[in-house]
Amino acid sequence: MVKIESSAALFLDESGAMSIAQLVEQSGLSEAELQVLVDCGALEPRDEAAGSWRFSSRCIVTARTARRLRDDFALDDVHAVAIVLRFMQRIEALERQLRDLEARGRH
Amino acid sequence: MKYKDYYAALGVERTAKPADIKAAYRKLARKYHPDVSKETGAEEKFKEVAEAYETLKDPEKRAAYDELGRHAPGDEFRPPPGWRQSPGEPSFSFDDVDLADLFAGISGRTRGGRRAPNAPMPGQDFEAAVRLTFDQAYKGTEIELDMAVAEPDENGFLRRVPRKIRVRVPKGVTDGQKLRVPGKGGKGANGGRDGDLYLDIEVQSHPLYRAEGLDLYMDLPLAPWEAVLGASVDVPTPAGRVTLKVPPGTHAGQKLRLAGRGLSRADGSSGHLYAVAQIAVPTVIDDRQRALFAQLKEASAFDPRAHMVD
CATH number of the domain to which B76 belongs: 1.10.287.110
Q: What is the pLDDT of residue B244?
A: 97
Q: What is the pLDDT of residue A15?
A: 81
B61 and B101: one domain?
A: yes
DSSP strand pairing (B242-246 vs B231-235): antiparallel
Q: CA of A74: how far to CAs of B60, B101, B275, in Å?
A: 19, 22, 49
B193 and B226: one domain?
A: no
A68-80 pLDDT tens trace: 999 998 888 999 9
The CATH number of residue B280's host domain is 2.60.260.20
Range of the structural domain that residue B293 is part of: 210-308
B41 and B110: one domain?
A: yes
The sign of the dihedral angle between the CA atoms of A96, A26, B188, B166 is: negative
Of B180, B184, B212, the CB nearest to A103: B212
Of B33, B144, B276, the CB nearest to A105: B276
Query: What structural domains and CATH numbers belong to chain A?
Result: 20-104 (1.10.1660.10)
| Helices assigned H by DSSP within chain B | 6-10, 18-32, 42-56, 59-66, 99-102, 106-110, 134-139, 224-229, 287-299
B23 and B78: one domain?
A: yes
Q: What is the mean pLDDT of the segment spanning B145-155? A: 81
- Interface residue of A1, A3, A5, A7 to substitute, partner B, most B CBs within 10 Å: A7
Q: Which residue would you say has higher pLDDT here, B108 or B166?
A: B166
B122:A61 CB<8 A:
no
Of A15, A65, A72, the CB nearest to B29: A72
- Distance in Å, alpha carbon of A51 to nearest chain B alpha carbon: 28
The pLDDT mean for chain A works out to: 88
The DSSP secondary structure of B103-155, one letter per residue, reads TTTHHHHHTT-SS-TTS-BPPPPEEEEEEE-HHHHHH-EEEEEEEEEEEE-TT
B147 and B231: one domain?
A: no
B276:A104 CB<8 A:
yes
Domain boundary among B205, B230, B251: B205
B166:A7 CB<8 A:
yes
| Count of domains observed in chain B | 3
B107 and B158: one domain?
A: no
Domain boundary among B48, B80, B114: B114
Residue B54, Cβ density class (10 Å: 0-12 exposed, 13-18 middle, ≥19 buried):
middle
Q: What is the pLDDT of residue B113?
A: 41
Domain boundary among B163, B185, B205: B205
Q: Which residue would you say has higher pLDDT here, A47 or B272?
A: B272
For chain B, what percent of residues have pLDDT higher than 70? 94
Beta bridge partners of B150: B160
Residue B110 confidence (pLDDT) above 60 = no
B17-71 pLDDT tens trace: 999 999 999 999 999 998 888 888 888 899 999 999 999 999 999 998 998 888 8
B217:A105 CB<8 A:
yes
Q: Is the ipTM of this complex over 0.95?
A: no
Q: What is the pLDDT of residue B191?
A: 83
B241 and B136: one domain?
A: no
- Distance in Å, alpha carbon of A103 to nearest chain B alpha carbon: 5
